[in-house]
Every structure is written in structure tokens, then in C-alpha cells.
Amino acid sequence: MRDNVVYNQSDNHVMVRTNGDEIHIICNTESQMDKVVEKMTTDSCKLVGYEEWDEDSDKKFILTFIVCDADGVIIQPELN
């Protein structure tokens, strides 16, 4: 994926946008969101953000992933 690009076509099921080492994905349903998290989560790509927008039939799920492919770097969640 290239940096700072919106990957959005009329036949896409989700909207994907890159921003440096971040990937933002907007999903329309919870099942779609679960599938995206399952496919995107790897050793070098981790879910770091989750946000719900709107309510009822217009509800969207915004996921933020961070990509780090440097050797020896471990991505761990920050706990409150």
C-alpha cells in the first residue's frame, strides 16, 4: 500500500485509507469488522484503534491498524 492514499472504489465493501504507518478501515457491519480484524492482524500489523460512528442503520465501525515491519520491534497494546 502506498502512503496517504484512499483505496475507495464503488464496488468496495469497506473503505481503506493509509496514512504513514497507519491503515484506517471503515466497516458497515460488526461481522464485516470481525472479518477485517481477523485478516489484518499479523505480527507486523496490529489493531490500535476502534470507534463507532452514528447509530441504527447508518452505524459505521472505524478501525485503525499500525504497521511496523522493522526487525526486532514488538507491537504491544497500551493498557490504561
Q: Taking the model in full, what pTM does it have?
A: 0.76
Residue-wise pLDDT tens for the chain (80 aa)? 566 666 666 667 788 888 888 999 999 889 999 999 999 998 888 899 999 998 888 899 999 999 887 666 666 666 65
Measured at the alpha carbon of residue 32, what is the angle toward residues 73 and 19, in degrees to the nearest 5? 45
Q: What is the pLDDT of residue 38?
A: 94
pLDDT of residue 51: 93
Maximum pairwise Cα distance, the chain: 43
Burial (0-12, 13-18, 19+ Cβ within 10 Å), 45: middle
Q: Output the pLDDT for position 11.
A: 66
Kindly state the cell numbers that stand for 21.
504507518
